[in-house]
Chain A
């Protein structure tokens, strides 16, 4: 069979052409994963009502059960569904919320809260002392498998319902952090009826008393909330204590940073969180968008050295890491001056922050080499150190997707440690729960925590009680334990500051961690979004948000 071809002109380019086209598509495909969630907000805004705020998140929440969640991104969502007994204002002072007032016993071991009487949960369940007792008891019940909430509620022991709207909370020892912790969304009050009804599934069917009600959750795509029309018990930290103006909030999950920011520019969403540093400068001068930014207090993003395994159980080996890793270069290179370098186990805004640690440990390759030489690790043929036939390997675990360029930190640490003869095996995994918390198959793993009180250090550095979650460092130090216990109960604030300064210095001297950066929570939003602000912990608050124009 013969072919007759009328024109043979560009025959050789045909197959090549579509392949080249494919290559171009490949380059551009990074921009294609978000879908038009914004259209409905435009319609709603036009409809004369408050409109729907579309808000792009960088990662997906783990659960919307506040007591079982450990992630800041979850708080950004469920912080709207739940209210707390108390609230912390911009100066860190504790103010009433669901609790109208409270008294503390002289020994500091019990708190008596008078509760508001006009509050109901989204499902109609009345809010009262029984509901609060149910919440607090649920957290310490091992069957709940509570996460961060369990650490926050320490040293809670029990509570007594005095009357329908009065509850007495008993602690096993005094705690200066207790009230501040009660203001955290992870201790938000959940509906006892719904918690009993849904059991394990409560995290997918959250019910609270907050300004927004849960509507739906599409896995890895979006979470929809709508206005709670009955809401009338907002705290004094917001202007609008009644039902919000917004009809609802749709959180879209867009992990790809360029796509997330691009979605605001293309008006597919009205706001997006975690703006990549390379885009911040450009957005600051944008005519259509505004850039909102707040530093998050608590524990900065910190690399924890797991000292369960040799050689990292030796101080000199850990000090070698401290000297070999040039954090300053990492922060400057990756964040282009938009993130601040962290120097201590706490962020600067926390009580007791030890500013004397700033600039104390400087990168020093010679010192790192010298320390490793002293430990008997000698350079092999390929430059990696060897001792007794074993290569000096460091397992660096980080999670995927590449949030806040943390995977890139791993790549830089890998190169910096290679220079002193340490082979870094980078393991980027989606399954942190198994790799880090279950198998402990890491030598270096980074984490951070949003918190308002220095007592947050306890769950990271105090020897865990039997059965409690183990610490990332696996380090047990009686001196640290004593100080951390003292810090929690000391009332005199200058004494308390002194204790936490000692703690930070000890953590630094023992080379348990490498602090990296203080995370600025950044949001890029359309200029039609008004009244979006952040609470004391840097979480967005939507009570006062209004939309103008056509939603774009």
Chain B
């Protein structure tokens, strides 16, 4: 029953248990690696926290206004005045990256939220109701799943036109089937558990059973998936923005920055590189956190 989720998961503590049985030296090594991964997750959390601060109060941190075009300082390489250099308008890259965090994160968080809500509700409905409801919902999810997520988002964004709500909608829609499947898998597994049947036998209503017994147990895999999904949402958002389907505003997001700088890659590598690094490090950080979360929330560990 956990196969669905299990495929995507590799359990660290399972591995640790094996190692424990094997030899004590290996156990020490495992312990060290546990600390290491915890440290990585800690660093990752710190980075994400920093980026969230960037998104909330960029004006406190950025050295320049992101729209200030210092035309006497165009295409400056990284240096003391402009730490990450300037672009072809003479805008400060560091300030642009800091301000760009807001839209990038907004796209990431809101599309994950929308995807989790819609996918979660559909999956829960399918898993708990079973029968025809299950078949119809899940077959629809299967159809959606046959289209690669990025392609689906691209198609939706192209059809709706550029703009923040549209890009969020496009990314959310593309992620719905994944969340729905995980949610449904969890619920189908729980539905036949003894304590659920006992609750039913005691006359608990469907709503009560879902709310008190099923959701708390089914939600953690979705939470893990959502964390990792945050990274890919931001990446997809940057991709759509790069292709000109993103937000149209004075302050470009990371994807738009990449797009603006790509014509200058051979003469001013820094315009593209730093927004690219911002995307990469954020996605990496979110994935590290997701991995750690998964290990901690995995019901099979029983910790």
Report Cα–Cα, A412/B250, bound state, in Å: 10
Tell me which residues across on chain B come within 8 A of A22, comparing CB atoms: 235
Is A3 touching B10 in the complex (CB atoms < 8 A)?
yes
Tell me which residues across on chain A come within 8 A of B292, comparing CB atoms: 12
Interface residues of B toward A: which range? 35 or more
| Interface check A247, CB cutoff 8 A | no
Distance between B9 CB and nearest chain A CB, rounded to angstroms: 8
Is A5 touching B10 in the complex (CB atoms < 8 A)?
yes
Is B242 touching A19 in the complex (CB atoms < 8 A)?
no
| Interface check B71, CB cutoff 8 A | yes
Chain B residues 59 to 78 lying within 8 A of chain A, measured CB to CB, are 67-69, 71, 74-75
Is B89 touching A11 in the complex (CB atoms < 8 A)?
no
Chain A residues 384 to 418 lying within 8 A of chain B, measured CB to CB, are 400, 408, 411-412, 414-415, 418
Tell me which residues across on chain B come within 8 A of A3, comparing CB atoms: 6, 9-11, 14
Secondary structure type dominating chain B contacts: helix
Report Cα–Cα, A12/B34, bound state, in Å: 12
Complex interface bits, B1-35 against A, C-beta within 8 A gives 1, otherwise 0: 11100100111101100100000000000000100
Interface residue stretch chosen among A119-127, A327-335, A441-449? A327-335
CB within 8 Å: A-B pair count: 119
| Interface check A30, CB cutoff 8 A | yes
Tell me which residues across on chain B come within 8 A of A334, comparing CB atoms: 88
> Closest residue to A4 on the B side, CB-wise?
B18
Interface size on A, residues (CB 8 A): 40
Distance between B96 CB and nearest chain A CB, rounded to angstroms: 12
Is B291 touching A332 in the complex (CB atoms < 8 A)?
no
| Interface check A2, CB cutoff 8 A | yes
| Interface check A8, CB cutoff 8 A | yes
Assuming A19-B232, A19-B287, A428-B248, is B10 touching A30 (CB within 8 A)? Answer: no
Is B14 touching A258 in the complex (CB atoms < 8 A)?
no
Report Cα–Cα, A257/B242, bound state, in Å: 15
Interface residue stretch chosen among A45-53, A76-84, A274-282, A517-525? A274-282
Is A411 touching B287 in the complex (CB atoms < 8 A)?
no
Assuming A27-B258, A333-B89, is B239 touching A4 (CB within 8 A)? Answer: no
Assuming A23-B279, A282-B266, is B288 touching A12 (CB within 8 A)? Answer: yes
Contact of A278 among B15, B267, B291 (CB under 8 A): B267
Complex interface bits, B235-264 against A, C-beta within 8 A gives 1, otherwise 0: 100110010100010100001001100111
Tell me which residues across on chain A come within 8 A of B163, comparing CB atoms: none
Is A23 touching B280 in the complex (CB atoms < 8 A)?
yes
Assuming A12-B291, A332-B71, A415-B69, is B14 touching A4 (CB within 8 A)? Answer: yes
Assuming A12-B37, A333-B69, is B14 touching A26 (CB within 8 A)? Answer: no
Chain A residues with a Cβ under 8 A of chain B: 1-5, 8, 11-12, 15-16, 19-20, 22-24, 26-27, 29-30, 256-258, 276, 278-279, 282, 329, 332-334, 336, 400, 408, 411-412, 414-415, 418, 426, 428
> What 14 additional pairs, Cβ within 8 angstroms, besides A3-B6, A20-B284, A30-B262?
A1-B2, A5-B18, A8-B15, A11-B12, A12-B37, A19-B235, A26-B255, A27-B276, A30-B259, A258-B266, A278-B268, A333-B89, A412-B69, A426-B248
